[in-house]
């Protein structure tokens, strides 16, 4: 048998066993969607659904083409625009068993790759062949997000929790609920909170830097673990006076601090800055935190001639969809232009985009334009992406979203 982490999720109809389609719910999809599956993608949009037969919300369904030929098993959502997420080229006889195998495979994948941290993403949805499930580890607490009807079913939750507990022995497992996503999936509202154990806060360590984690605080599942390797890379080049823009709980700032004379972090969220301040104390670092709108602050600082040796720009995703692309690019342009103007010769710019809809090429273009408009000559030191605990599937481009460029202003 192919190991769970190597198995393709979609297949050609040759995998059909003796021409027999398993009993149970079926969904027929368009020729266009079949082509997409054959290219290795795992999503089928609602507009490509031709018919459904007994497909209950969250069910495992047999996917067929319009002539009834079998193409594998998928998880069905009755309300999301992504109606089907492929999970196997074959019929799935025992779903909880498959889930447990895939959780084990996700953990095994990370063992040789994840270093110098006790906080990392344990399961990254499609990229770990567990579509709709995200699990992050913060030292002894697991933080879990369920994004689809199929993953929300009670037997599925029970299998996932049992395997995660058996493998990782967390002191507690917390669920972080995104009300907006539950609404999109037509799932009943649910509170965030502990699923197992009774520990709600802990301290975790990344690259030797310590952070507070509390299941009741923060954005996403708690921290931006996808930047973990970029924090270490940024620290490598950092020097002089540093400005961490969109600093959240201070992760870049704290990594830069040992290398820099002075560090300032800027964010518009007071709760994030309160945690940042506690993190500075935990690491015995002096960092100045400023609550401000980054656009206003950069405009004022640039106008008043302030200068820095290291600047980090890590804004939230500006392009939530391809429709916002122009606005997003304008946003990146403004930020990068001002930052480049403020850097001293030899200065370092670490600039990030976590918008999937802005490609690496588009991001590079906009930063190059900013350098031209700022009349600075700029070297590209590193083109980076998300940490390896956020794997990218080659044929599912949506799994690759984070861009991080490290640049040096030469004159
Ligand atoms: N660099 C952080 C992650 C940043 S996430 C890390 O590595 O942990 C984006 C941050 O931008 C969030 O903390 C959010 O509060 C902040 N933010 C969003 N809009 C902002 C604005 N206009 N000005 C300043 N901060 C903003």
CA of residue 384 to ligand 1 center, whole Å: 19
Confidence class for position 38, pLDDT limits 50, 70, 90: very high
Quick one: what percent of the chain has pLDDT higher than 70? 95
Report which of 259, 375, 391 is spatially closest to residue 312, judged by C-alpha positions. 259
- CB of 231 closer than 6 angstroms to any ligand 1 atom: no
201-206 and 209-214 as β-strands: parallel, antiparallel, unpaired?
Answer: antiparallel
**Alpha-helical segments (H) within 289-401:** 294-303, 325-342, 360-373
- CB of 54 closer than 6 angstroms to any ligand 1 atom: no
- Atom 1, ligand 1: residue with shortest CA distance: 247
209-214 and 172-175 as β-strands: parallel, antiparallel, unpaired?
Answer: unpaired
The pLDDT, as a whole number, for residue 44 is 98
> Does 220 have pLDDT greater than 80?
no
CA of residue 184 to ligand 1 center, whole Å: 25
How distant, in Å, are the alpha carbons of 42, 206, 253, 273, 372 from that of 211?
36, 8, 12, 13, 38
- CB of 252 closer than 6 angstroms to any ligand 1 atom: yes
The span from the CA of 289 to the CA of 311, in Å, is 14
- Atom 10, ligand 1: residue with shortest CA distance: 246
Confidence class for position 3, pLDDT limits 50, 70, 90: very low
> Does 7 have pLDDT greater than 80?
no
Atom of ligand 1 nearest to the CA of 249: 8
Confidence class for position 10, pLDDT limits 50, 70, 90: low
The pLDDT, as a whole number, for residue 219 is 75
- CB of 271 closer than 6 angstroms to any ligand 1 atom: no
Measured CA angle at 300 (ends 295, 303), to 5 deg: 120
Coil, strand or helix at 121: strand
Contacts of residue 277, defined as CB under 8 A and 6 or more positions apart, other chains included, come to 250, 289
CA of residue 143 to ligand 1 center, whole Å: 21
The pLDDT, as a whole number, for residue 5 is 44
Active site residues: 354
Q: Are the beta carbons of 172 and 140 closer than 8 angstroms? A: yes
**Alpha-helical segments (H) within 78-221:** 95-110, 149-152, 154-168, 179-184
The pLDDT, as a whole number, for residue 13 is 53
The span from the CA of 349 to the CA of 400, in Å, is 22
The pLDDT, as a whole number, for residue 1 is 38
Atom of ligand 1 nearest to the CA of 312: 1
DSSP string, 217-267: SSSTTSS-GGGHHHHHHHHHH--SEEEEES-TTTHHHHHHGGG-SEEEEEE
> Does 221 have pLDDT greater than 90?
no
> Does 48 have pLDDT greater than 90?
yes
- Atom 3, ligand 1: residue with shortest CA distance: 248
Atom of ligand 1 nearest to the CA of 316: 9
Mean pLDDT confidence for 39-56: 96
- The tokens for 67 are 């002539």
- For a substitution probing ligand 1, which of 316, 335, 384 has the most ligand atoms within 8 Å of its CB? 316
Q: What pLDDT digit, counting tens, does each position of 169-217 carry? A: 999 999 999 999 999 999 999 999 999 999 999 999 999 999 999 999 8
Coil, strand or helix at 291: strand
Contacts of residue 73, defined as CB under 8 A and 6 or more positions apart, other chains included, come to 60, 61, 62, 63, 86, 87, 88, 89, 90, 91, 92
Coil, strand or helix at 72: strand
CA of residue 67 to ligand 1 center, whole Å: 50
> Does 118 have pLDDT greater than 80?
yes
- Atom 5, ligand 1: residue with shortest CA distance: 316
- CB of 71 closer than 6 angstroms to any ligand 1 atom: no
More confident of the two residues 1 and 370? 370
pTM of the model: 0.94
CA of residue 271 to ligand 1 center, whole Å: 11
Mean pLDDT confidence for 248-254: 98
- CB of 316 closer than 6 angstroms to any ligand 1 atom: yes
Per-chain mean pLDDT for the chain: 94
Q: What pLDDT digit, counting tens, does each position of 330-375 carry? A: 999 999 999 999 999 999 999 999 999 999 999 999 999 999 999 9
The pLDDT, as a whole number, for residue 322 is 87
> Does 250 have pLDDT greater than 60?
yes
CA of residue 166 to ligand 1 center, whole Å: 35
CA of residue 196 to ligand 1 center, whole Å: 30
- CB of 211 closer than 6 angstroms to any ligand 1 atom: no
Mean pLDDT confidence for 120-127: 98
- CB of 353 closer than 6 angstroms to any ligand 1 atom: no
> Does 402 have pLDDT greater than 60?
yes
Q: Are the beta carbons of 276 and 287 closer than 8 angstroms? A: yes
The span from the CA of 331 to the CA of 338, in Å, is 11
């Amino acid at each position: 048998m192919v190991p769970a982490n190597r198995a393709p999720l979609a297949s050609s109809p040759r995998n059909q066993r003796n021409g027999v389609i398993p009993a149970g719910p079926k969904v027929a999809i368009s020729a266009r969607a079949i082509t997409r599956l054959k290219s290795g993608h795992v999503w089928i949009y609602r507009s490509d659904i031709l018919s459904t037969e007994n497909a209950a919300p969250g069910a495992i369904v047999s996917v067929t083409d319009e002539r009834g030929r079998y193409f594998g098993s998928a998880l069905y959502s009755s309300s999301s625009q992504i109606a089907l997420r492929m999970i196997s080229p074959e019929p799935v006889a025992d779903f909880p068993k498959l889930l447990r195998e895939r959780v084990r495979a996700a953990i095994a994948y990370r063992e040789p790759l994840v270093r110098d941290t006790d906080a990392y993403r344990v399961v990254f949805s499609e990229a770990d062949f567990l579509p709709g499930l995200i699990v992050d580890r913060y030292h002894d607490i697991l933080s879990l997000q369920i994004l689809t009807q199929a993953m929300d079913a009670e037997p599925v939750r029970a299998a996932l929790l049992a395997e995660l507990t058996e493998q990782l022995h967390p002191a507690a497992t917390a669920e972080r609920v995104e009300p907006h996503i539950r609404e999109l999936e037509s799932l009943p509202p649910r509170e965030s909170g502990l699923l197992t154990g009774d520990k709600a806060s802990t301290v975790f360590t990344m690259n030797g830097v310590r952070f507070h984690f509390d299941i009741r605080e923060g954005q996403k599942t708690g921290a931006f673990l996808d930047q973990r390797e970029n924090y270490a890379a940024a620290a490598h080049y950092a020097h002089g006076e540093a400005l961490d823009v969109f600093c959240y709980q201070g992760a870049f700032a704290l990594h830069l601090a040992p290398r820099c004379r002075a560090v300032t972090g800027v964010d518009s969220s007071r709760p994030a800055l309160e945690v940042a301040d506690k993190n500075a104390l935990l690491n015995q670092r002096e960092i100045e935190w400023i609550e401000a709108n980054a656009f206003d602050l950069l405009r004022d600082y640039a106008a008043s001639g302030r200068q820095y040796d290291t600047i980090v720009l890590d804004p939230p995703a500006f392009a939530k969809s391809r429709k916002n692309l122009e606005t997003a690019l304008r946003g990146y342009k403004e930020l990068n232009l001002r930052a480049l103007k403020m850097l001293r010769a030899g200065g370092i710019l670490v600039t990030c985009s976590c918008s999937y809809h802005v490609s690496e090429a588009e991001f590079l273009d906009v930063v190059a334009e900013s350098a031209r408009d700022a009349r600075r000559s700029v070297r590209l030191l590193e083109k980076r992406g998300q940490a390896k605990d956020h794997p990218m599937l080659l044929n599912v481009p949506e799994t690759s979203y984070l861009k991080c460029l490290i640049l040096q202003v030469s004159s």
